[in-house]
A and B are shown apart, each in its own frame.
Chain A
């Protein structure tokens, strides 16, 4: 498990208050982890801060699952 994956998982667990085991690659923030649309905006903000990157709005829309987030951040850092 990569360091980036751990850090992303930690943010998701803290923000959405879900169990760590549920944050798997295909887990959808909205459908599986109970996020609302505002949560997804806040998650993106938290990723930007944690990794010091900019996630433009059109890219943010493609980040639907935990795996999407990890992949985007790996590519961006």
Chain B
């Protein structure tokens, strides 16, 4: 339904479960896709399965210089970026009273500040071409909170406020900025949960199962499309009804 032929997308955290599925969905819709992440090997593997329109662009999002260089690398590989998906994220869970400054700062740096820096770097091209799509991957816990994840929840909620502000600034230039807030999705990040924890979670999810990365990718595909041009500053919750916001 959504045709992205001729568009160029960049996906951060493409070596992860959700990022990989997002890259695949955008590529299948016809876009050129830049795959960014810290680990080069899984990015190369993914690029091979996606074919000629996938480009490997490794980047450590904890390093401001590496982020500053990424727009240029993307331009060299694809000619520019029309769609930016800020998906990369890390967790450093700890109870609030035990959480260290480092645990807090690292999560903010990668999950929020890196998205800010990278988006700033990519905006110029989008503003010039009067068309752009920015999709930031937040989380249900940014809206609901979660014990042990004060840092992660703060960063994910921060993405929402940042996205709304930017959406207002650039709407007149044909650039939309939206947020997707996944609930519990089957990925390496949620594999760490014990069976008991999973059963407990499922009891709170009306759809009665965890979500899949492809269900997040479908939401990204929609918000990246030409058809979604009137949607901006929105947060799309994809969580099986776990929190109806």
The interface of chain A, by Cβ under 8 A from chain B, is 38, 42, 45
Contacts and interface: CB of A to CB of B under 8 A. Distances in A.
Nearest to A45: B124
A24 B204 CA distance: 66
Contacts of B170: 38
Interface of B: 124, 127-128, 169-170, 172-173
Contacts of B172: 38
9 contacts: A38-B169, A38-B170, A38-B172, A38-B173, A42-B127, A42-B128, A45-B124, A45-B127, A45-B128
Nearest to A46: B128
Contacts of A42: 127-128
Contacts of B169: 38
Nearest to B170: A38
Given A38-B170, A45-B127, 7 more contacts: A38-B169, A38-B172, A38-B173, A42-B127, A42-B128, A45-B124, A45-B128
Q: Which 9 interchain pairs have the tightest Cβ spacing?
A: A42-B127, A45-B124, A38-B169, A38-B172, A38-B173, A38-B170, A45-B127, A45-B128, A42-B128
A38 B123 CA distance: 12
Contacts of B173: 38
Contacts of A38: 169-170, 172-173
A51 to B, nearest CB: 16
A45 B170 CA distance: 15
Contacts of A45: 124, 127-128
Contacts of B127: 42, 45
Nearest to B172: A38
A55 B181 CA distance: 38
A31 to B, nearest CB: 19
Nearest to B173: A38
A72 B172 CA distance: 28
A45 B173 CA distance: 15
A12 to B, nearest CB: 16
B138 to A, nearest CB: 25
A38 B169 CA distance: 8
A49 to B, nearest CB: 9
A6 B173 CA distance: 26
A58 B169 CA distance: 20
A45 B120 CA distance: 13
A15 B84 CA distance: 25
